[in-house]
């Protein structure tokens, strides 16, 4: 695929680990001017290997161009939280966009939801790499509501790399599958995430029997 058109306010990237979905998300973040270690244009801190090798090979075209936004990397959220603590020490308003207190002082799930509720505001492009990593099923449902509010209130774009069948159920979202060495649009019901989860829930005993049975 030479060109990807983001036709809906919410787009999901799905595929196995190593399929390239996080690499592309990171390259988009770089082209948006966000810190690829995680954060926005205003978050400047260093993280080992926080460069995108793909960014030089892609070009973004958008109307209107958005400068507001955020790149969430679940794997480096701890370092981002420490960066916000440093900003608070330098300027006592550093926590204003994060619920009024250190992200480290909140549970993992609470800190993610606090970020989404307080930092994701106004027109912008919001890039999230596996946000479900810190969210229980109940909090994933709460995040669906936050997503709905974001795209309903403003001209915003959410691009999310995920393995979560709950998040993938967001109505009207575009789902791009990175498996099979290409990028192709798919439907919710066609994803492995939906099919495997549905089959397991409906046939748990049979599924476990097949997994645990001895090889002949």
Mean pLDDT along residues 26-49: 75
Model confidence, pTM: 0.84
Query: Which residues sit opposite 58 in a β-bridge?
Result: none
pLDDT for residue 36: 83
For residue 101, pLDDT over 90 is answered with: no
The domains of the chain are located at 10-188
Q: Label residue 59 by pLDDT band (50, 70, 90).
A: confident
Fold annotation for 10-188: Rossmann fold (3.40.50)
**Lowest-confidence segment of 37-51, 61-75, 147-161 by average pLDDT:** 37-51
């Amino acid at each position: 695929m030479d060109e990807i058109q983001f036709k809906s306010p919410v787009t999901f990237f799905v595929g196995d680990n190593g399929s390239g979905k996080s690499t592309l998300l990171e390259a988009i973040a770089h082209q948006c001017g966000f810190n690829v270690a995680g954060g926005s244009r205003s978050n400047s801190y260093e993280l080992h290997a926080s460069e995108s090798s793909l960014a030089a090979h892609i070009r973004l075209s958008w109307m209107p161009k958005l400068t507001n936004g955020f790149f969430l990397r679940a794997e480096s959220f701890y370092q981002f939280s420490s960066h916000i603590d440093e900003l608070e020490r330098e300027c006592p308003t550093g926590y204003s966009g994060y619920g009024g207190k250190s992200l480290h002082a909140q549970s993992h799930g609470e800190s993610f939801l606090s970020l989404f509720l307080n930092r994701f505001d106004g027109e912008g492009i919001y890039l999230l790499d596996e946000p479900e990593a810190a969210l229980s099923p109940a909090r994933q449902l709460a995040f669906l509501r936050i997503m709905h509010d974001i795209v309903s209130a403003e001209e915003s774009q959410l691009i999310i790399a995920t393995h979560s069948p709950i998040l993938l159920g967001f109505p009207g979202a575009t789902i791009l599958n990175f498996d099979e060495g290409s990028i192709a649009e798919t439907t919710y019901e066609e994803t492995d995430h939906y099919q495997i989860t549905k089959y397991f829930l409906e046939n748990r005993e049979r599924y476990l029997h097949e997994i645990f049975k001895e090889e002949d």
